[in-house]
Amino acid sequence: MQECLKKLIESGVCVGDFSRAYADLLDLNHKTSRSSDALIAFAKQYRASPIQIERAVETLFSPLPDSFRVCLTPSAKEVLAFFHSLCPMAIVTGGNPPLQWDKLKKAGIDRSLFSMIGIPEDSVKKPYYQALQAKWGLPSKEIWVCGDRIEVDLRPAFDLGFRTVHMRWGRGARLTPEKWIDYSISNLSELKEIVR
């Protein structure tokens, strides 16, 4: 998002104090379901033209700078290592596939920990969840899905009878867990006590 804000400024959009504008953009990003929606809404607040908005959105899907690092949620690597020795794991994340692969690399995530990594561009995850169940041959109640976005990550899992864990992080930090969600956590390390 920082690179997108820089692109808006380069194209002539006046945002005033960069740090304040960036904080506002990140706040808006946490409140929307997609980063592009947040960026468009933010740019419109500053009266950006359609071409300025288009260039900023293009930046959102451009390769990340070499110096860019993706911050992991606390305990992520520890929890992945813990479960890797106990059960098969997968990542199903939506968005632009090359960008998502780049984010995994820059986060330092070892792809070999996962039996599958699925990246639906349209963020429709149910077919990927079904493919995982078929691959693993597990009953629905033995498959756990942890995600921050209730409707995108957890609803399709619930519809398939999978167990669900709402991660109150990122976009999920401000969402109120639905009654049908099995668990709601704020730190991934809590999974070690839940998933057995």
**Residue 8 structural domain:** 2-60
**106, part of any domain:** yes
Q: Is residue 71 part of a domain?
A: no
Place of tokens 């390390």: 189
- Residue 173 falls inside a structural domain: yes
Exposed, middle or buried: residue 107 (CB in 10 Å: 0-12, 13-18, 19+)?
Answer: middle
Residues 91, 119 share a domain = yes
**Residue 174 included in any domain:** yes
Same domain, 26 and 88: no
Q: Is residue 67, in this structure, part of any structural domain at all?
A: no
Domain count of the fold of the chain: 2
Which of the four pLDDT bands, split at 50, 70 and 90, describes residue 118? Answer: very high
Taking only the tens place, the pLDDT of each residue in 62-116 is 888 888 888 889 999 999 999 998 999 999 998 889 999 999 999 999 999 999 9
Q: Say if residue 160 is in the same domain as residue 129.
A: yes
**Domain presence at residue 68:** no
Judge if 85 and 178 occupy the same domain.
Answer: yes
pLDDT top residue among 175 and 149: 149
Structure tokens at 60: 């959102």
